[in-house]
Amino acid sequence: MRMILDNIRRIFFDDGRDDRDFSEQEKRLQEVLAHLHDAANSVKKGAELLADLIKARA
Which pLDDT does position 15 carry in this prediction? 82
Residue 17, SS3 per DSSP: coil
Which pLDDT does position 43 carry in this prediction? 98
Each residue's pLDDT tens digit, 24-51: 999 999 999 999 999 999 999 999 999 9
Each residue's pLDDT tens digit, 3-23: 999 999 888 888 888 888 999
Count of alpha carbons within 13 Å of 35, Cβ hemisphere only?
Answer: 6
Which pLDDT does position 55 carry in this prediction? 94
